[in-house]
Amino acid sequence: MNTPTSELAIAAGIETVAVIGLGYIGLPTAAILAGNGMKVIGVDVSPATVDAVNRGEVPFVEPDLGIHVSGAVAQGFLTAQKETPRADAFIVAVPTPFLADKSADLSYIEDSARAIAPQLLGGELVILESTSPPQTTAHMARVILEARPDLSLDGSDGRPAVLFAHCPERVLPGRVMIELVTNDRIVGGLNAGAAAAATALYRVFCQGEILETDATTAELSKLVENSYRDVNIAFANELSVVSKNLGVDVWELIKLANHHPRVNILQPGPGVGGHCIAVDPWFIVAADPENARLIRTAREVNDSKPQHVVAQILEPVKEVASPTIATLGLAFKPNIDDMRESPAVDIVHKLATQRPDATILVVTPHSSVLPRMLEGFSNIKQVPATEAIAAAEVVALLVDHDKFREIDMATLAGKHVVDTRGFWRADALG
């Protein structure tokens, strides 16, 4: 492990860092840089986010982030604002959603680039952290240099150079504050100088290895990592459907198979969610639709899993008029409030649409609000777990939140239980 230090960054001429986008990645990165003595200005289009950060608060759930943000703000190292300031380094961590045709929407990156351009004097480092299709860092550089023809990539013709790099984040939601420090980091520069400057900046807080490469390899590496996981989860999800049809307990099956020294099957679930694994593989498919066949199929397998779960939930109440269904959890994974691309949200939406006569009781221990996709349904109600279970004919466990361990198993007696996570295995249910 290497020792992090802000001295290297300062030696590389970086004292002030602007972090553009104070979301799930930008805010932790801003807080950890500030906590290590860098002067950090966070930038966000949302006034609510800016105000929250300036109060030292975090507008979403991520373990330990609050203490980092409040400490950095109290010490004056972290501030937030709507306008992009002048800075020695810029870290762009804005969303890259996909469009209807599954290609990436780069408009947030382009907007950030256009806001950075007028603030540059030459010599700055601009890092793209957002997960992006191959060549996006070069695209961002083009947008900036088109707006600033007095600057260049390499200092040619006496025009001052701006350094561009891609440094994908690879932290796991729920463990962000740990993994930011301990994970290895890939740093891809548009040129070697840019990679070296980015390494100096990440060394401020990163104790893992920092591996330098070119920007396109770094972009692709991030996409490949998440596609690898998606393909492996698809394998588990496909097994869960095949096992169900054969009357086999898939969790027992996987546990047994994993005793083989070279087999390590992941866990099936209600589908794959989050803004990373459910999205990034499409960027590879879009880059080479003809050849990325396995990656595309894995996406399709995972995307079809919610409908299998819906069928399982509705089967026992197909003859029941106006049934009540309890769905436990809406987040895309346990112990967080993030519902982006969540298969649980998709399942509840499908239930409410496919059985408009049913009442769908949703239990969300980490959030008091429903996602927009579920707003406006009169047959969806948010209630505590005990109330939902007491009223329901079918109880579907969609997210394995630790809080659901508090549920008294006796209250499940006589209910049809659909346990998408193997949280309450058949033997535990008695």
Candidate list 15, 110, 225, 393; residue touching ligand SAJ; CB under 6 A: 225
Residue among 26, 189, 269, 281 that touches ligand SAJ (CB under 6 A)? 269
By beta-carbon proximity to ligand SAJ, the closer residue of 109 and 171 is 171
Residues 130-149 that bind ligand SAJ (CB under 6 A): 131
What are φ and ψ of residue 422, in 5° steps?
Answer: 65, 25
Distance separating alpha carbons of residues 243 and 253, to the nearest angstrom? 8
CB 376, CB 352: distance < 8 Å: no
Catalytic: 206? no
Q: Considering the candidates 167, 206, 222, 305, report the single residue annotated as catalytic.
A: 222
Ramachandran angles phi, psi of 89, nearest 5°: -140, 145
Residues 15-74 that bind ligand SAJ (CB under 6 A): none
- Output the smallest distance, CB 43 to ligand SAJ, in A: 20
For residue 90, state whether it binds ligand SAJ (rule: CB under 6 A). no
Residue 358 or residue 399: which is nearer to ligand SAJ going by CB? 399
Task: For the CB of residue 149, give the shortest distance to ligand SAJ in the complex, in Å.
Answer: 35
Shorter beta-carbon distance to ligand SAJ: residue 117 or 278: 278
Residue whose CB is less far from ligand SAJ, 36 or 132: 132
Distance CA(316)–CA(327), nearest Å, equals 15
Of 171 and 292, nearer to ligand SAJ (C-beta) is 171
| 319-338 positions binding ligand SAJ, by CB under 6 A | 332-333
Check: CB of residue 123 under 8 Å from CB of residue 160.
yes
Q: List the x/- string, 159-178, binding to ligand SAJ by CB under 6 A.
A: ----------xxxxx-----
Is position 222 annotated as part of the catalytic site? yes
Residue 384 phi, psi dihedral angles, 5° rounding: -70, 160
Active site residue ranges: 222, 276
Binding site for ligand SAJ (CB under 6 A): 131, 169-173, 225-226, 229, 233, 266-267, 269, 272-274, 276-277, 332-333
